[in-house]
Chains A and B, each alone.
Chain A
Amino acid sequence: MKRTLGLLLLVLVLTLAPQVGYADEVIKIGVFEPMTGANAAGGEMTVEGIELALEIKGEVLGRKVEIIVVDNKSDKVESANAVSRLIEKDKVVAIIGSYGSSLSMAAGDIVKKAEVPAVGCSPTNPLVTLNNDYYFRVCFIDPFQGTVMARYAVNELGAKTAAVIQDVTQDYSVGLSKYFIDAFRELTGDKNSIVELSSYNTGDQDFTAQLTNVKNKKPDIIFAPGNYGESALLIRQARDLGIDVPFLGGDTWEAPEFLSIGGDAVEGAVFSTHFTAEAPVTSESGVFLAAYRNKFGKEANAFAALGYDAYMLILDVMEKAGSADSQAIRDGLAEVKGFVGATGVINLDENGDAVKSAVINKVDGGKFIYLTTVEPD
């Protein structure tokens, strides 16, 4: 009798134990972002948004959520290592990241092979999600961003010629430059409207040689998407060389460092980005902005908002699927329609890209000033 009871108890324990353990187990979401190196500011801003979202919604399906942040050091190889670590060692069910298209692309094959879904916050190069069923993003992509800036240059600034200066080591910069060039040529109807295409590398500090060549071509505007640090130095040196035409760029310029390093030189610089505290778009924007102000005592930026959205989107998908299984999350992400995020309503298309409006900001008086919002076609 005793023996049967013992056996029964054992069976009971064995059948119940995994379930009890399962319910207590935390859901791990991995975050790989640049916390050091050339993109550190972008990574840090994004993580702030993710941490804020975790504070607001730290539980799903009755289980606690934990985020594990790994620094990818603004380096492609480190980025691949960071994601492998999150998957193999930390066994995360989903991944958020990364600021910087190149850094995200370095992780693409790894998440695909491991079948762990990843949601990018701000990598805008189309190749990040292309042919990868496990990569999604909550931001728009560069063909749109490039067109937005080309239109602004032609319609608002009346530019007939442009010079483009790109960072050849950043897929973001090269891609965005290409889409800008295509759109600018089409809008001006002039194949020769791009008078100069110059290049530099991430980490370069001296751009005087490229700028001297650009100056000689006398463009109406200069499009120079790149890391905030390099771009700020580039614009400083351009002003020193007596180049006084407007500078246009992309979303990476939205960093306090762009203003502090650039100083007076970056006054008047215009760039596209994802979101601005000055023009909330959804009910969720208000919730996010208030919470951010409360926690950090300042106005939120686009990257924090995207980090917030990426996290909230993953939790929303888990809730709807009723599962925290990687495959279920992936399948849920593939069908996201009408998710109300802080940066706008998110619909993911067949590539896993969000189709959203862009915001145009200008540097004025040492601050980012909101100019206008551009809707997708």
Chain B
Amino acid sequence: MGDLSIFLQHLANGVSLGSLYALIAIGYTMVYGILRLINFAHGDIFMLGVYITFYGILYTPLPWWLVFLIAPAITGCIGILLEITAYKPLRESPRITILISAIGASFLLQNLGIVIFGGRPRAFPVPKLLNQVVRLGGVSINIVAFIIPIITVLLLMGLNYFINKTKTGMAMRALAKDYDTASLMGIDINRIISITFFLGSLLAAVGGIMWGVRYPQLMPLMGTMPGLKSFIAAVIGGIGNITGAVTGGFILGLGEIMLVALLPRLTGYRDAFAFVLLIIILLVKPSGIMGDKITEKV
């Protein structure tokens, strides 16, 4: 392996990891952008998405690709349920109350996961088609590592289109500006919020499935770290900004891989790196790379 091919391999590894963070961050940031709510249970919804897919493949006669399509929809419905039970009753409360409720929901889902799925890890059944290795010169990449960035970019474009060009998207943006005025304009707030949570959770599940294919180890607490990392990615990119979240995800993934690759002594600080990056961003440019200037709603 020449130096160049090593570097290219690291680059490919970084893009692959980064696109996963980006994929999970999209849903995170979308919910925040529209509802101004940091949904700390996002990582646990992600975990539920993977487990639903796992059980769907193993215990139903459906082909894996169909499960890959259905599972995110089911997860989306769970997201709606979560909103109705944990957030809706607190809609008039101060934002900090909802934040605490989100943390509570996260713990609840994790522990439910332990009770229902068991503490021992499960192996994600990776479809053969997605478990192949492509070799380009000195660089070896699993085919999933190619697919994930493509899915990420496609979902990014689709979501941007949905929010900016459709009527429901317009209603979402209106909601983001002002709840009361939006409802005065005849927007069904509950419906729009439900759709937002459905989409956010669906995206978490898509991220989860891709995560499962790439790292096929399922645990009830598996959502915590990816959830935090994608939150950081969202903040780096400017929370609320979908394109920013994707950018943030790639920066974080590449940064982590390069840290381990080039400074092996600092490997133990890999997670710390992500949090240090978060602190720096919050100190230097709290609105993130692509975020709007933060103006408090009055």
**Cα of A210 to Cα of B217 in the assembled complex, Å:** 19
Q: What residues on A are CB-neighbors of B264 within 8 Å?
A: 198-199, 210, 213
B30 at the interface (CB under 8 A from A): no
A372 at the interface (CB under 8 A from B): no
18 further contact pairs, Cβ within 8 A, besides A37-B221, A199-B264, A208-B17: A36-B119, A41-B120, A199-B268, A200-B270, A201-B271, A204-B270, A206-B17, A206-B215, A208-B9, A208-B13, A208-B16, A209-B257, A212-B261, A213-B6, A213-B264, A215-B1, A261-B216, A263-B216
B150 at the interface (CB under 8 A from A): no
Checking B13, B133, B258, B260 against A242 with a beta-carbon cut-off of 8 angstroms, the contacting residue is B133
B267 at the interface (CB under 8 A from A): yes
Q: What residues on A are CB-neighbors of B260 within 8 Å?
A: 209-210
B17 nearest CB across to chain A (Å) = 5
Query: What bracket does the count of chain A residues touching chain B fall in?
Result: 35 or more
A16 at the interface (CB under 8 A from B): no
B142 at the interface (CB under 8 A from A): yes
**Cα of A180 to Cα of B114 in the assembled complex, Å:** 36
**Cα of A206 to Cα of B214 in the assembled complex, Å:** 9
A257 at the interface (CB under 8 A from B): yes
Q: What residues on B are CB-neighbors of A261 within 8 Å?
A: 121, 123, 216-217
B293 at the interface (CB under 8 A from A): no
Query: Within residues 24 to 72 of chain B, which ones have a CB less than 8 A from any CB in chain A?
Result: none
A342 at the interface (CB under 8 A from B): no
B220 at the interface (CB under 8 A from A): yes
Pair A199/B267 contact, Cβ less than 8 Å: yes
Query: Within residues 105 to 145 of chain B, which ones have a CB less than 8 A from any CB in chain A?
Result: 114, 119-123, 126, 133, 135, 140-142
B10 at the interface (CB under 8 A from A): yes
**Cα of A240 to Cα of B144 in the assembled complex, Å:** 11
A240 and B13 in contact, given A168-B267, A203-B225 (Cβ under 8 angstroms):
no
A369 at the interface (CB under 8 A from B): no
Q: What residues on B are CB-neighbors of A239 within 8 Å?
A: 133
A41 and B121 in contact, given A229-B217, A242-B133, A242-B135 (Cβ under 8 angstroms):
yes
11 A-B contacts (beta carbon < 8 Å): A40-B119, A201-B271, A205-B217, A206-B257, A208-B13, A215-B1, A216-B6, A240-B142, A257-B122, A261-B121, A261-B216
A7 at the interface (CB under 8 A from B): no
A11 at the interface (CB under 8 A from B): no
Query: Within residues 231 to 255 of chain A, which ones have a CB less than 8 A from any CB in chain B?
Result: 232-233, 236, 239-242
B272 nearest CB across to chain A (Å) = 10
Contact digits for B205-217, partner A, Cβ 8 Å, 1 yes 0 no:
0000001001111
Q: What residues on B are CB-neighbors of A240 within 8 Å?
A: 133, 140-142
A35 at the interface (CB under 8 A from B): yes
**Cα of A44 to Cα of B114 in the assembled complex, Å:** 14
Nearest B residue to A259 via CB reads B123
Nearest B residue to A196 via CB reads B264
Query: What bracket does the count of chain B residues touching chain A fall in?
Result: 35 or more
Checking B114, B120, B261 against A213 with a beta-carbon cut-off of 8 angstroms, the contacting residue is B261
Pair A36/B140 contact, Cβ less than 8 Å: no
Pair A201/B121 contact, Cβ less than 8 Å: no
Q: Which 10 A-B pairs have the closest CB atoms?
A: A36-B119, A260-B123, A208-B13, A209-B260, A205-B215, A40-B119, A209-B261, A261-B123, A199-B267, A242-B140
Residue among A44, A216, A240 with the most chain B CB within 10 A? Answer: A240
B243 nearest CB across to chain A (Å) = 24
A208 and B215 in contact, given A199-B268, A200-B267 (Cβ under 8 angstroms):
no
B15 nearest CB across to chain A (Å) = 11
Pair B221/A209 contact, Cβ less than 8 Å: no
Q: What residues on B are CB-neighbors of A263 within 8 Å?
A: 123, 126, 216
Nearest A residue to B2 via CB reads A216
Residue among B120, B256, B258 with the most chain A CB within 10 A? Answer: B120
A166 nearest CB across to chain B (Å) = 10
Q: What residues on A are CB-neighbors of B258 within 8 Å?
A: 209
**Cα of A35 to Cα of B14 in the assembled complex, Å:** 33
**Cα of A352 to Cα of B264 in the assembled complex, Å:** 37
Residue among B1, B261, B267, B268 with the most chain A CB within 10 A? Answer: B267
**Cα of A297 to Cα of B258 in the assembled complex, Å:** 48
A196 nearest CB across to chain B (Å) = 9
**Cα of A205 to Cα of B50 in the assembled complex, Å:** 15
Pair B268/A241 contact, Cβ less than 8 Å: no
Q: What residues on B are CB-neighbors of A213 within 8 Å?
A: 6, 261, 264
**Cα of A71 to Cα of B126 in the assembled complex, Å:** 30
Query: Within residues 33 to 69 of chain A, which ones have a CB less than 8 A from any CB in chain B?
Result: 35-38, 40-41, 44
**Cα of A239 to Cα of B142 in the assembled complex, Å:** 10
